[in-house]
């Protein structure tokens, strides 16, 4: 029988990835002296290719580093950032545009795939329409996504829809969420269904049916890339025709993972590799026809290298020699890759392509004795392990998966130290010297002074918490030292920088009183303090700020004066709307009558409170309608009386009041009333006289 290797037509770079890599490679070739080239995140899901870029001077940056990068760009050292085909969030795009507008020596190239751009437009448009419907009182819309929640492509288009959104990795996960009532609160809304461009077509068809079943009038957008669709169909067809399949792609490549799942479900002899050397001893001797498919992030030279390697082995007729080569000898200390052939209680068995069978006890897989190996693995899975002991007589090799995992994870810790990348971890223990944090399953010691807990306070409160830290030192014996405070300081500097770049006079803040002095209060505005002078705490004159506010109180303040150079902010609680004189003049005018409270008595008159913090003077001559000896002969402190406002001096903010005016007005009214009554009596008498004369 003729032996052959068939490479799928759609193997390798898709249009979007090809466009992004071509743009970066062109920039590398036309490199301007001094220019710095960056990619926003790893350009593609292929470490071999990414290492080539790194060797060529292309660095990787993140959205958080963009402001500092843009600020560092100069004519002698310009910066250009390439956005990968996966796209970016709406916030990152706005940040890049803003930075490019501010600095002519900073630029970016948006290499987002056209299919991904299409999803961005759909998500943004649907959110706009959802807002319009909400404004008209309609129930609105929500988003359902088939994809990986942590994938940069999904994160990017989720940022463009501001409403409720749900991401499911499989159709079964969606159905489970429905059955458990997780989507009950949005059952009255209209669903919008989208898919990550590299999703499995079978899963997509399944979730579409479920959404149509469970919701009325769903809006379904077929957003799986047509190249992905063709690639998956071709992979399935090829797997049916071949007795051995190879999937080439990065381990974190979503589309490569989908291809492997499809091929593996059809052809049991399917392997997933990143490079040609990983094929060693994996091609079965009985193989007559082998198929090769590759993910969208796989360079063509790697595909060619793999296919050549396969052809060399498959077309080699010296099977005895190949068999002898395949039955390799294992030694203690080797690292091997095997395929799971059996899962038993407490252990798994692996085919190592050697004369012995690999055995991994549960204790060498996980520290959790209650973990279910059946749930963790399945027959056919590949496992990398460390050889602890080999027994040719007994025919088995005792292996450890934990040892390999630990070594790999330790390399991640070392890399984090070298790149100064922040890492996440959980605080598991505390002692008098500091705390221990588990990072990538390795312990990193954080000394007390680096925990971010003030000296004298108990840093043991961190135990059980997830923290972000920076690995600052690597020691022999797999020991590492970290700092939580370094990350906190960096975040604080970033917040302060952003704060000082945006703050303006007149801005209003709500902050907490941090400390008090004899001359005012310091208020935390969010990492930066401002000072409210005692005279600005209240319209009322105060001698001690502690009589008005306490530490911990929330205050609404506005920026009265700003000194960016000295990093000083003068705040005030006093606004025009709270000005007592403003309140008074908007409530009263000359001629109005007011009920006032006597607050003090003086030889020349009495002061009365009209509104809070606004007093008026009742001159002694205006207290009564006759001469009095002193104000206290008529009035007393605390007494409430009615007065007439007879004068308002806006310039001096003084008010003149009168009780006498009301008394005289009352007397005049009485006299007028009595005169009217007398006239009426005379008129009645005249009328009676006239009636009597008529009667005679």
The answer to pTM > 0.75 is: no
CATH number of the structural domain spanning residue 449: 2.40.50.140
pLDDT of residue 316: 60
CB 147 within 8 A of CB 169: yes
Condensed to tens digits (0 to 9), the pLDDT of residues 310-327 reads: 887 776 644 444 444 445
Residues 243 and 288 in one domain: yes
Confirm whether 416 is domain-assigned.
no
Any idea which of 394-403, 618-627, 672-681, 684-693 has the lowest mean pLDDT? 684-693
Q: How far apart are CA 344 and CA 339, in angstroms?
A: 15
| Residues spanned by the domain of 462 | 422-490
Residues 111 and 19 in one domain: yes
Residues 154 and 196 in one domain: yes
Residues 121 and 217 in one domain: yes
pLDDT-derived band of residue 84, with 50, 70 and 90 as boundaries? very high
Length, in residues, of the chain: 696
Residues 592 and 660 in one domain: yes
Where would I find the H helices in 274-318? 300-314
Q: How far apart are CA 234 and CA 293, in angstroms?
A: 9
Residues 121 and 216 in one domain: yes
Minimal CA–CA distance to 457: which of 435, 487, 488, 436? 435
Residues 94 and 25 in one domain: yes
CA 16 to the chain's CA centroid: 27
pLDDT of residue 321: 46
Residues 318 and 384 in one domain: no
Residues 381 and 432 in one domain: no
Task: Single out the catalytic residue among 93, 153, 203, 436.
Answer: 153
Confirm whether 412 is domain-assigned.
no
680 is catalytic: no
Q: List strand residue ranges (DSSP E) for 314-465, in order.
A: 335-344, 347-351, 357-361, 382-391, 396-400, 422-431, 434-439, 442-447
- Average pLDDT of the residues in 398-416: 87
Question: What is the domain count for the chain?
Answer: 7
CB 233 within 8 A of CB 201: yes
Q: How far apart are CA 483 and CA 444, in angstroms?
A: 9
| Tokens found for residue 328 | 């390799």
- Average pLDDT of the residues in 436-456: 90
Instruction: Mark which of 290, 307, 325 sits at the end of a domain.
Output: 325
pLDDT of residue 393: 66
Minimal CA–CA distance to 44: which of 29, 57, 25, 27? 25
Instruction: Mark which of 85, 115, 145 sits at the end of a domain.
Output: 115
Condensed to tens digits (0 to 9), the pLDDT of residues 107-162 reads: 999 999 888 999 999 999 999 998 888 887 777 899 999 999 999 999 999 999 99
Q: Residues 6 or more apart from 279 whose CB is under 8 A from it?
A: 246, 271, 273, 306, 309, 310, 313
Examine the pLDDT at 602 and tell me if it is beyond 60.
Answer: yes
Q: How far apart are CA 170 and CA 117, in angstroms?
A: 23
Confirm whether 689 is domain-assigned.
no
Any idea which of 26-35, 568-577, 643-652 has the lowest mean pLDDT? 568-577
Confirm whether 76 is domain-assigned.
yes
Condensed to tens digits (0 to 9), the pLDDT of residues 209-246 reads: 999 999 988 999 999 887 788 889 999 999 999 999 99
pLDDT of residue 319: 42
Residues 460 and 473 in one domain: yes
Q: How far apart are CA 443 and CA 481, in angstroms?
A: 9
Residues 569 and 612 in one domain: no
Confirm whether 272 is domain-assigned.
yes
Residues 539 and 510 in one domain: yes
Q: Residues 6 or more apart from 459 whose CB is under 8 A from it?
A: 430, 434, 435, 448, 451, 453
CB 62 within 8 A of CB 41: yes
pLDDT of residue 333: 83
Confirm whether 375 is domain-assigned.
yes
Confirm whether 530 is domain-assigned.
yes
Quote the percentage of the chain above a pLDDT of 90.
Answer: 45
CB 120 within 8 A of CB 156: yes
Q: How many CB atoms lie within 10 A of CB 525?
A: 20
Confirm whether 694 is domain-assigned.
no
For residue 487, CA distances in Å to 373, 378, 418, 695 come to: 38, 40, 15, 115
Q: How far apart are CA 573 and CA 555, in angstroms?
A: 8
pLDDT-derived band of residue 695, with 50, 70 and 90 as boundaries? low
């Amino acid at each position: 029988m003729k032996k052959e290797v068939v490479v799928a037509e759609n193997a390798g770079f898709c249009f979007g990835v090809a466009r992004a890599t071509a743009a970066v490679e062109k920039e590398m070739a036309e490199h301007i002296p001094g220019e710095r080239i960056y990619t926003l995140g790893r350009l593609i899901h292929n470490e071999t290719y990414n290492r080539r870029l790194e060797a060529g001077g292309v660095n990787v940056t993140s959205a958080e580093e963009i402001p500092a990068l843009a600020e560092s760009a100069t004519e002698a050292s310009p910066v250009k950032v390439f956005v990968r085909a996966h796209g970016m969030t709406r916030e990152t795009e706005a940040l890049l545009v803003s930075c490019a507008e501010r600095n002519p020596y900073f630029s970016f190239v948006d290499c987002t795939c056209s299919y991904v751009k299409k999803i961005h437009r759909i998500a943004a448009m649907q959110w706009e329409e959802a807002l319009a419907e909400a404004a008209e009182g309609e129930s609105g819309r929500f988003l359902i996504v088939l994809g990986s929640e942590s994938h940069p492509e999904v994160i990017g288009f989720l940022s463009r829809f501001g409403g409720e959104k749900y991401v499911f990795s499989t159709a079964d996960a969606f159905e489970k969420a429905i059955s458990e009532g997780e989507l009950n609160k949005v059952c009255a809304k209209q669903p919008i269904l989208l898919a990550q461009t590299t999703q499995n077509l079978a899963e997509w068809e399944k979730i579409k049916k479920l959404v149509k079943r469970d919701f009325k009038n769903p809006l379904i957008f077929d957003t799986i890339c047509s190249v992905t669709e063709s690639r998956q169909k071709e992979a399935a067809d090829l797997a049916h025709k071949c007795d051995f399949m190879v999937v080439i792609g990065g381990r974190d490549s979503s589309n490569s993972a989908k291809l492997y799942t499809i091929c593996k479900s059809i052809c049991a002899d399917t392997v997933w590799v990143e490079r040609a050397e990983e094929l060693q001893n994996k091609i079965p001797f009985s193989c007559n026809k082998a198929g090769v498919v590759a993910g969208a992030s796989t360079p063509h030279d790697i595909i060619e290298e793999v296919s050549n390697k396969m052809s060399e082995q498959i077309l080699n007729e010296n099977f005895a020699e190949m068999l002898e080569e395949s039955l390799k000898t294992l030694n203690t200390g080797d690292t091997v890759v095997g395929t799971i052939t059996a899962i038993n209680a407490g252990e798994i068995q692996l085919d190592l392509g050697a004369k012995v069978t690999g055995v991994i006890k549960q204790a060498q897989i996980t520290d959790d004795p209650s973990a279910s190996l059946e749930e963790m693995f399945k027959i056919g899975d590949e496992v990398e392990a460390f050889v602890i002991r080999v027994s040719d007589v007994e025919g088995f090799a005792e292996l450890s998966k934990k040892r390999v995992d630990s070594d790999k994870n330790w390399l991640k810790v070392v890399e984090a130290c070298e790149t100064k990348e922040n890492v996440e971890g959980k605080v598991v223990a505390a002692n008098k010297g500091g705390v221990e944090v588990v990072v990538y399953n390795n312990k990193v010691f954080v000394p007390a002074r680096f925990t971010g807990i003030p000296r004298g306070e108990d840093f043991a409160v961190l135990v059980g918490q997830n923290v972000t830290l920076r690995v600052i030192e690597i020691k022999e014996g797999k020991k590492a030292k970290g700092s939580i405070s370094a990350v906190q300081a960096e975040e604080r500097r970033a917040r302060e920088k952003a704060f000082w770049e945006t703050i303006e006079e007149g801005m209003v803040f709500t902050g907490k009183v941090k400390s008090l002095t004899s001359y005012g209060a310091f208020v935390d505005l969010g990492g930066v303090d401002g000072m409210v002078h005692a005279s600005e705490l209240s319209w009322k004159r105060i001698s001690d700020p502690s009589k008005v506010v306490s530490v911990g109180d929330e205050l609404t303040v506005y920026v009265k004066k700003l000194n960016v150079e000295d990093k000083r902010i003068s705040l005030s609680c006093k606004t025009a709307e709270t000005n007592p004189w403003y309140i008074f003049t908007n409530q009263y005018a000359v001629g109005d009558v007011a009920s006032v409270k006597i607050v003090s008595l003086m030889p020349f008159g009495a002061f009365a409170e009209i509104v809070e913090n606004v007093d008026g003077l009742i001159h002694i001559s205006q207290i009564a309608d006759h001469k009095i000896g002193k104000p206290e002969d008529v009035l007393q402190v605390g007494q409430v009386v009615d007065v007439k406002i007879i004068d308002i001096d806006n310039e001096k903010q003084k008010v003149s009041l009168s009780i006498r005016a009301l008394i005289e007005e009352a007397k005049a009214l009485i006299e007028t009333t009595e005169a009217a009554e007398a006239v009426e009596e005379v008129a009645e008498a005249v009328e009676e006289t006239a009636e009597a004369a008529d009667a005679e």
